[in-house]
Amino acid sequence: MGLHEALNAASHGPGPIVKSIACGDVLVTRTYSDRFDLDVAPAIPCTDAFGVIVQLRDFDSHRLWRRGQLVYEGGHVKASLAITDLRDQWQCHHLSPFDNIRFHIPFSRMRAFAEEVGRSEYLALACVQGRIDPVMHGLAQALLPSLDSPEEANPLFLEQINLAMLAHLSQTYGGLHFPVDKKGTLASWQERLATEFLAAHFNRPFSIGDLASRCELSRSYFNKAFKESFGRTPSKWLTEYRVARVKELLLQDLPIAEVAISCGFADQSHMTRVFTSLTGETPARFRRKNKPFRVAMDQLGD
């Protein structure tokens, strides 16, 4: 059962009321119910996407399972937000009345947005639970008329909401840096050239001095301006990019030592130290946690 089918199934019978609308390739769904006796909801289909849920009212009680294991029991207050990685299998049992809006955001859309704004990072959102977020609550409320009357929704309005949502999430939960004061930052063409150059050379030696020259700057000024633009040094940006590429390759059948070399690390030990310091887990543990679900998702797509 795909995502649309699961939502349609939930919208019939005595279950919660479900309304959906597409904002580009982001699916927005409102789900609500005044009942205390709902059945356990169908498992959310695994997919390469993030789920962002915003509560429109106080939600007193529910149970949440990840991969069949209970990971949360309790409630969330109005305007709170939860972000989940939908490569995992999630299932929820609503035990009290609720009203929420879910944003289903493909990984590909997050990365495309980062590139569109001159940020070539491998963008991923931090998974949070129950964090108050007035901005997302306001955007969710702004979509209510469109969800009630999708045929009357203004495409331009939906597009602007989509961009505002992506900008807020990527900066607040994805580490994407948008400097408030442009003084001392790289010009737009320099930002794009720098990130494209770093991404193209992430697994082979290069000179920061050469990159600075391409940006028509001295090495020292380039380093300072890059940090002002991206909130991190070129070295830190490159390390985070390499770790993101490692995560992708770990979901394939490559030996970990080969992944290390492919991503520009001296050897497997070097990669493990860097990966663990950034993620809090070893590459082997990351693979064990995530690869079974990658295989299952690939099989579903066949």
Q: What is the pLDDT of residues 212-260, one digit of tens each?
A: 999 999 999 999 999 998 888 999 999 988 998 898 899 888 999 999 9
Query: How sure is the predictor about 302, in pLDDT bands with cuts at 50, 70 and 90?
Result: very low
Q: What does the alpha-carbon distance between residue 13 and residue 109 come to, in Å, rounded to a whole number?
A: 33
Predicted model pTM? 0.70
The average confidence (pLDDT) of the chain is: 87
What percentage of the chain carries pLDDT values higher than 90? Answer: 59
CB 40 within 8 A of CB 33: no
Q: What does the alpha-carbon distance between residue 266 and residue 10 come to, in Å, rounded to a whole number?
A: 51
Q: What is the pLDDT of residue 12?
A: 43
Longest dimension (CA), the chain: 67
Query: How sure is the predictor about 291, in pLDDT bands with cuts at 50, 70 and 90?
Result: low
- Which token pair is 85? 């990685």
**Greater confidence, 292 or 267?**
267
Has residue 21 got a pLDDT over 90?
A: yes
Q: Which domains does the chain have, with CATH numbers?
A: 3-172 (2.60.120.10), 188-301 (1.10.10.60)
Q: Please tell me what DSSP assigns to residue 37.
A: -
Taking Cα atoms as reference points, which of 156, 48, 155, 160 lies closest to residue 110? 48
Has residue 189 got a pLDDT over 50?
A: yes
- Which CA distances in Å does 243 have to 96, 256, 278? 41, 13, 8
Has residue 175 got a pLDDT over 90?
A: no
What percentage of the chain carries pLDDT values higher than 70? Answer: 89
Q: What does the alpha-carbon distance between residue 19 and residue 147 come to, in Å, rounded to a whole number?
A: 6
Q: What does the alpha-carbon distance between residue 174 and residue 110 come to, in Å, rounded to a whole number?
A: 9
SS3 string, 261-289, reads: HHCCCCCHHHHHHHHHHHHCCCHHHHHHH
